[in-house]
Chain A
Amino acid sequence: KNQVEQSPQSLIILEGKNCTLQCNYTVSPFSNLRWYKQDTGRGPVSLTIMTFSENTKSNGRYTATLDADTKQSSLHITASQLSDSASYICVVKNQAGTALIFGKGTTLSVSS
């Protein structure tokens, strides 16, 4: 069964600290993996899209890694800011169809 599991479910960190969010998937055959940021009450916004051949991709203070062999991805946030407080959603597409499989997200709270 195609699944995307994210951990932790929620996380609280102090402003300025780094953090890493995890995403494990069982989707096969794999096509690409996406990370989205969703602010409260807003729609998700794309952070990165990674294909099979990409191991790492950065977008400002956000760096995503992908290990297609172990079917794991991580999103690392450097020098966190209060505005990073949001839900971070991992999404995986398989090659077999049009479906995108969404994780339930990790809720990050950055406090001062």
Chain B
Amino acid sequence: GAGVSQSPSNKVTEKGKDVELRCDPISGHTALYWYRQSLGQGLEFLIYFQGNSAPDKSGLPSDRFSAERTGGSVSTLTIQRTQQEDSAVYLCASSLLGTSGGTGELFFGEGSRLTVL
């Protein structure tokens, strides 16, 4: 696609429910990142996929968070048993090269705003 596409753009859920957020990266980009942005805070790294390598999951805040990337393209971030502190904007980014391979300019999606009531 022309840019990174994320869905849904907004999600309101009840505490304890599971949610899935989807990211469709730019075609051909091998690297894909998930970040979380809480109000007034900087971007918080969650997880990084690079090609067929094992993902870097070091940023996932708890075992309620997981992500997968199927076929090296679309990625889904899943949050189980959501809590109110999970409320944030979840941003996905992709790059042609991983950050280990040169400048690896990131292209961000518009984000998915999650509100947990």
Contact = CB atoms under 8 A, between A and B. Distances in A.
Interface of A: 32, 34, 41-46, 49, 51, 89, 93, 97-100, 102-105
B69 to A, nearest CB: 15
Given A32-B103, A43-B91, A98-B56, A103 B108 contact: no
B45 A99 contact: yes
Chain B binding surface SS class: loop
B108 A43 contact: yes
B25 interface: no
B20 interface: no
12 contacts: A32-B103, A41-B111, A42-B110, A45-B108, A89-B42, A89-B43, A98-B100, A100-B99, A102-B44, A104-B41, A104-B42, A105-B42
Q: Which of B35, B42, B105 neighbours the largest number of chain A CB atoms within 10 Å of its CB?
A: B42
Contacts of B93: 43
Q: Which 4 A-B residue pairs are closest in the complex by CB-CB distance?
A: A43-B108, A104-B42, A102-B43, A102-B42
A102 B38 CA distance: 13
A49 B56 contact: no
A34 B43 CA distance: 14
A105 B38 CA distance: 13
Contact of A43 (B4, B40, B42, B105): B4
